[in-house]
Structure 1
Amino acid sequence: MIRTLLALTLLLTFALVNANWEGCGSGKVIKGEKTYICLIISDIEDWNGSAENGDVVYYRYLFRPTVDDFTKLSLQDSWILPGSSSDCQNCGSDNDVGCPSCKDTLLRNFTNPAVHVQSIQSISYIRRYRGEHGGVHRTFPYMTAIINVDKGEITGITWDEGCTFCNDAQCTPNTYNFNGALQESGPKSCYLDDTDCMNGDLVAESCPLQVYAVWSGTDADGNYLKSSELRFSEFKSMSLTNWADKIKTKYEEVKDYAEYEEGGDSSV
């Protein structure tokens, strides 16, 4: 039974892409036991050609969630206004410890920060998280990765439809392949303008980078995995507030965030 909505402690590694990808963890998927999920943060670009040259920089965050627990993977202080390192909303300087919008250094390293998900030997397509869209700086929150499993083997990772909580005008294609090309037929997602993410010096709760993970299929023991029933697209008639209230009435959210670390440059 699904027990807890988890915001998991993470481990960060900085790396350069290479051709010898070994996956994110190993082993069979067993309901109720720990597994591996990695969030990969990068720019949207051609990974295939760039990887051969060793010049794609990414940050990899390793999480250890429990299989079939509805899981929230969060990066604290991962939202920042575009511009220079001193471009902080209503702050005296980027060293102002009292200004949450000045704390982030992670996403300053990327022009169009994007995320994809890895688990064991499977990998998802890429989703844009931040960047310029339609001439306006925007954020794409509400991301859910569906980990599809057959008898304990992961057969694929797909993105849930992400336009449950917005109107059609804010819903746009947001699935990219590893050539950096937009997949027009891929799942869409909502966007928020920067003005919707900031309230004075505070960042809206939905805007820092967070990816929900759910499982579907059967584990190594033949048990059905049911956390996918809680993905956003299953609550099409709800507002975001109603969805959050429904979740909180059944599950506990454990806020256990770890600070990220900064990576280096892309030289080899």
Structure 2
Amino acid sequence: MTIHSESLDIPVDGETIAGTLLSPSPKVPGILFVHGWGGSQQRDLARAKHITGLGCVCMTFDLRGHEKTESQRRSVTREQNLADLLAAYDKLVSHPAVDTSSIAVIGSSYGGYLATLLTRQRPVKWLALRVPALYWDDEWSLPKQALDRQRLSQYRLMTLGPGDNRALAACAEFAGDVLLVESETDDYVPHTTLMSYRSAFVCAHSLTHRIVDGADHALSSDRSQKAYSALLTAWISEMVIGARLDRYPHHSPWYS
């Protein structure tokens, strides 16, 4: 927590004595949620409301090609969706209560992929990626829906590094705290992809990798949803609210 310090004079018996007033900073962390392909902000709202209660400004939004703009699903590109994310980020940090040096981005699947690319263009202190998807660099301006799904499945089974993929290159440059969440029975984003991401975070201040037992890609069961929510809330409390890792890195239960 940032502390604001103010020097002041205290009148007493016609004289003044010096004092210092310490108070919590009126600024609080900002947290941006990025949903996956085929999802919506509705999936993040419950978690966002809970985390807001911890003392943060949270924001959810719908990428183009979803919900009210679903008619664009077949034409929207990764380039356009990254522009959506940049616009949402800029809107969040414009809020007067947000500490612009304390921004967390929480991305799921396709949203996790976009979140890594965001870190190259905007300051991000904390990055939480749930089952982050991975896409090749070429065909960037091709409609996302038109990407070859079979090729994607094969691509995600490859062991890749920062020199092979620009999302992984962004991970290699990221110096903040990272949470990677894997689903044990994921058919879309395999363990190999998670390991490519994990290996790429060579400069991260801390890296936490957790697996939700028995969970599929979409967290279809209530048990999986609750497990992920509990995990995310605990990490947010540790990293964003308490910021204990910054002060006592070797005493944090999340240090790994």
Q: Which fold has the larger relative contact order, with Cα–Cα distance below 8 Å and residues 6 or more apart in sequence?
A: 1
Establish whether TM, by shorter chain, passes 0.5: no
* Structure (1/2) with the larger strand percentage: 1
* Structure (1/2) with the larger helix percentage: 2
Larger radius of gyration, structure 1 or 2?
2
